[in-house]
């Protein structure tokens, strides 16, 4: 299978290298990933600057782009792999979970979403870090991915969706199983630190936050030591009934 790998941490980061090493013996691996760290960039584009594309050599299938995760996917699909598109895109392995509200800010998830816009089966893969300074267990996430690939996940993801996979930061033997989940909603937000009162601010260190109605959510699954799988749709049209407004249809 031809697999495109990307991430939001950078082309030389250990989560991506874990995927290259674990998948390389059985699959044709291509890599297009950011040259620099791009966490929290969501679906941003480098619209107002040129982007250098760097490769390790003529025969290499690995590139670093001076752009965002979404830029990486776009240039992979439109330029680098336009004549031989990938069968699957995997974005990750992200060191730290992408759950609840944080899905909206994640460059890891956005890269998978971009590929799904063009009907490329896509997985965003993250592993939980339980404590500050703890080493991410990338091998656990890689083993979980192997299980999904053995189940032919690439042929089962509906067009226009991605599977957002979050793996507990535990040894594979300690994980209780798998759960299909829904995206949680935090009931509070990360606070700011005042570096200079009233003038200079920074986000406080990330911590676990309470969740509204946690049953069946991605956050709840991870807390109970299950691998969370959430099917996310690139079509953001709401299924709720729109409000009734006194508006004309433009014909009068």
Higher pLDDT, 248 or 238: 238
CATH dotted code for 2-184+213-233: 3.40.1210.10
Q: Whole-model pTM?
A: 0.93
The residue length of the chain stands at: 252
- pLDDT for 218 equals 95
Q: Which pair of structure tokens corresponds to residue 76?
A: 């992979």
Return the sign of the alpha-carbon dihedral for residues 82, 94, 171, 181: negative
Percent of the chain surpassing pLDDT 70: 96
Q: How does strand 161-167 pair with strand 200-203?
A: unpaired
Angle at 183 between CA 179 and CA 184, to 5 degrees: 105
Tens-digit pLDDT profile for residues 99-158: 999 999 999 999 999 999 999 999 999 999 976 667 899 999 999 999 999 999 999 999
CB 23 within 8 A of CB 107: no
pLDDT band at 12 (very low <50, low <70, confident <90, very high): very high
Nearest to 116 by CA among 4, 34, 239, 35: 4
Q: Closest Cα to residue 94, out of 149, 169, 24, 180?
A: 169
204, 174 Cβ separation under 8 angstroms: no
- pLDDT (tens digit, 9 = 90+) per residue, 72-86? 999 999 999 999 999
Alpha-carbon radius of gyration of the chain: 19
């Amino acid at each position: 299978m031809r697999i495109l790998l990307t991430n939001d941490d950078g082309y030389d980061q250990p989560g991506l290298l874990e995927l290259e090493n674990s998948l390389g013996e059985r699959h044709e691996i291509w890599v297009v990933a950011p040259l620099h760290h791009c966490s929290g960039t969501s679906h941003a584009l480098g619209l107002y600057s040129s982007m250098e594309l760097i490769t390790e050599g003529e025969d290499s299938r690995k590139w670093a782009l001076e752009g965002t995760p979404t830029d990486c996917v776009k240039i992979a699909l439109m330029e680098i792999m336009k004549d031989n598109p990938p069968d699957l895109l995997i974005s990750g392995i992200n060191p730290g979970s992408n759950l609840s509200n944080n899905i909206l800010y994640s460059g890891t998830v956005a890269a998978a979403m971009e590929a799904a816009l063009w009907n490329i089966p896509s997985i965003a893969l993250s592993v939980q870090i339980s404590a500050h300074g703890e080493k991410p267990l990338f091998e656990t996430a890689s083993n979980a991915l192997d299980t999904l690939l053995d189940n032919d996940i690439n042929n089962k993801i509906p067009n226009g969706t991605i599977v957002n996979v979050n793996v507990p930061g535990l040894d594979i033997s300690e994980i209780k199983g798998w759960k299909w989940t829904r995206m949680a909603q935090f009931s509070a937000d990360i606070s700011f630190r005042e570096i200079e009162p009233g003038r200079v601010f920074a986000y406080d260190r990330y911590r676990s936050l309470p969740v509204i109605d946690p049953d069946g959510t991605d956050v709840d699954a991870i807390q109970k030591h299950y691998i969370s799988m959430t099917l996310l749709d690139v079509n953001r049209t709401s299924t709720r009934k729109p409000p009734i407004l006194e508006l004309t249809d433009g014909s009068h």
